[in-house]
Amino acid sequence: MEIIEKKTIIEILKKIDLLHAIEQGFIAYSEGECVVPPIGELVFDEPPGDVHIKYGYIKGESHYVIKIASGYWKNHKLGIPNGNGMMLLFNQKTGQPLAILLDNGILTDIRTAIAGQICAKNFSNKIKRIGVIGTGMQAKLQVEYLKNVTESRDVMVWGRNYKKMDLYKEHMEKIGFEVSFCKSPHEVASKCNLIITATASKDYILSKNDILEGTHINAIGSDTHGKRELGPGIIEKADLVIADSIEQCKDRGEIACSIRDGNLNLDNVVELGNVLSGKISGRQSESQITVSDLTGVAVQDIKIADSVFDKFMEDKNEI
């Protein structure tokens, strides 16, 4: 069994086409070609944190994958990353363990950023300014992975902590973005036609009246019960809502929050893989409001783990 360390994983990530792989994973998922059981979950109160166990396989492929990923929101006070985890890869036909990917959560971070990239590419209008709510790892990666999607390098950010906003600005300007601060989420929404919400908030941050015509929102943070970033009425107001998994988003994420608000009409909700395959249309006009509810689906983990392992073995066999 191979043990692949984070340093090696980072080098491999530079060599592989994850965008195409994850797009194909979403398509396979929506076509019913994946076995993805419900998410296993542990939630902790003090200190606050959660652990997700996501797992599954794509029919006819070589491996199945079990991913364990944690997020502890006060880890920064200890000088350690908020996120951690690993992926375990097995032979689908025999059950033999093939690899442990000791990625410390980076593969979850990257596959989440790529899902945002896919949605921005397919559903945004021409991006004028990138609006970001949050200052953590996803708030950085979601923007970084837009470099191949848009020429815009103009970022407006809001966060609850001014020190973290300063650090965010410093980091993003080093990689080629111009960052300005907003005094409120409302200000972000009033000036940006792409909004990324990437927080662990339990109370909604954006209100229905904040959202302007032509806006696309990538909602990232509400990946478990009790989290919410979009206020009542936003999902209903949207002309098109794109779920990474409709079934999963009925249980967690912004669609689930909307259902709990009493909205049982999901006629505006489509699944991402069906749009990517061309079975369902995406944005129809520049005036539409669109929302991507990205709760994180195991097929993303399967595809990124497969890609890293296959490249690792290819490089090893060349030596």
96 shares a domain with 80:
yes
Q: pLDDT value at position 10?
A: 97
- Burial (CB count <10 Å: 0-12, 13-18, 19+), residue 6: middle
Q: Are residues 253 and 188 in the same domain?
A: yes
What are the C-alpha distances in Å from 274 to residues 92, 158, 201? 26, 33, 29
Q: Are residues 154 and 239 in the same domain?
A: yes
Vertex 198 angle, CA 194 and 201, to 5°: 125
My answer on whether 92 and 230 are in the same domain is no
- pLDDT for 265 equals 87
Count of CA atoms in the C-beta half-sphere (13 A) of 32: 0
pLDDT values of the chain reduced to their tens digit, one per residue, 319 residues: 999 999 999 999 999 999 999 999 999 999 999 999 999 999 999 899 999 999 999 999 999 999 999 999 899 889 998 899 999 999 999 999 999 999 999 999 999 999 999 999 999 999 999 999 999 999 999 999 999 999 999 999 999 999 999 999 999 999 999 999 999 999 999 999 999 999 999 999 999 999 999 999 999 999 989 999 999 999 999 999 999 999 999 999 999 999 999 988 899 999 999 999 999 999 999 999 999 999 999 999 999 999 999 999 999 988 7
End-to-end CA distance of the chain: 18
Regarding whether 185 and 62 lie in a shared domain, the answer is no
Position 58: which residue type?
I
Q: What residues make up the domain containing 71? A: 2-107+299-318
Residue 246, number of CB atoms within 10 A of its CB: 18
Please name the residue that has the structure tokens 């032509």: 214
Residues 120-156 pLDDT 10s: 999 999 999 999 999 999 999 999 999 999 999 999 9
Look up residue 144 and give its two tokens: 């970084």
Q: Are residues 93 and 226 in the same domain?
A: no
CATH code assigned at 88:
3.30.1780.10
Residue 76 is predicted with a pLDDT of: 84
Q: Are residues 227 and 287 in the same domain?
A: yes
Q: What is the pLDDT of residues 287-310, one digit of tens each?
A: 999 999 999 999 999 999 999 999
**253: domain CATH number?**
3.40.50.720
Residues 136, 36 within the same domain: no
Do 28 and 161 fall into the same domain? no
Residues 177 and 272 in one domain: yes
Task: Specify whether 284 is located in the same domain as 308.
Answer: no
Residues 143, 218: one domain?
yes
**Number of domains comprising the chain:** 2
